[in-house]
Structure 1
Amino acid sequence: MDGKRKIGDYYEGVAARYLGSHGVRILARNVYNRGGEIDLIGQDGTTLVFFEVRYRRAGSLVGAAESITWRKQQRLIQAARFYLHRHQLSNTDSRIDVIAIGPGSLKKYRVQWLKNALQAG
């Protein structure tokens, strides 16, 4: 496993624990489909949530949330739509959230949960 993947797995675990502590039930991790990859899929109340986890270390030129390009946004939306269609969940309440993780002041990192960050239409 390369270093980037190992770091990604670590921070996806951080995000999953954070979300769990906020009442989200994680249903799946690293879901690949024709549309792209979905880092985490969870249940927040009655809503199915697709999570994009982004990490940026200290000194990065842009923050974690700002690092999601327009192209990446389109791939996330396509992956979420494909997942909903494939699992016959088109009428299910769903949204795409971003978990942005960056350096913290007192803690090792700061987690920011951006709900409904992208619109899947």
Structure 2
Amino acid sequence: MYNNTRTMGTWYERKAADYLKKQGLFILRYNYRCRSGEIDLIARDGRYLVFVEVKYRNDNSSGYALDAVNPAKQRKICKVARYFLTVEYRCMDVPCRFDVVGIDDDEVHWIKNAFEYI
């Protein structure tokens, strides 16, 4: 079905975005990239700017999708978020949240405020 992992990742990121839209979030950016790394989705949820990491697993042999967002990954996401707020958004005084969407097989798990700004 997928010719490479990037194509598969994009498909699941779109699936997560569709899920979040149905929950009332407004997607601002897909796959925001800078020198420091990447954030899968950037969205608005009321007054919050939400940085979303999306993880997919087709089976549990290597753990659950949500387990893949470890402290090192969290630090990287926060670094990219800081860059986005400074350079693209031009404002650091914005209420932010870091969410994780894990997709195991076809089951979507959304963790709001999954980790704090590091």
TM-score, normalization by structure 1:
0.89
- Aligned 1:42-121 pairs, distance under 5 A: 42-86=43-87, 87-103=89-105, 109-121=106-118
Cα shift at 1:2:
5.4
- Residues 38 and 76 of structure 1 are in contact (CA less than 8 Å); yes or no, is this contact kept in structure 2? yes
- Greater helix share, 1 or 2? 2
Q: Quick one: distance in 2 between partners of 1:13 and 1:115?
A: 18
Aligned residue type for 1:116 = N
Q: CA RMSD in A?
A: 1.5
Give the total of aligned pairs: 116
When structure 1 is superposed on structure 2, of 67-76 and 2-11 the one drifting more is 67-76
Structure 1: segments with no counterpart, 5+ residues: 104-108
Aligned residue type for 1:51 = V
Q: Quick one: distance in 1 between partners of 2:74 and 2:104?
A: 20
Aligned identity (percent) is 38
Q: Quick one: distance in 2 between partners of 1:60 and 1:27?
A: 33
Provide the residue aligned with 1:106 in structure 2.
Answer: none
- Residues 35 and 79 of structure 1 are in contact (CA less than 8 Å); yes or no, is this contact kept in structure 2? yes
- Residues 35 and 80 of structure 1 are in contact (CA less than 8 Å); yes or no, is this contact kept in structure 2? no
- Residues 81 and 120 of structure 1 are in contact (CA less than 8 Å); yes or no, is this contact kept in structure 2? no
Q: Quick one: distance in 1 between partners of 2:115 and 2:95?
A: 14
Provide the residue aligned with 2:27 in structure 1.
Answer: 26
Aligned residue type for 1:56 = R
Instruction: Call closer, same or farther: CA 1:23–1:70 in 2, change over 3 Å.
Output: same
Structure 2: segments with no counterpart, 5+ residues: none
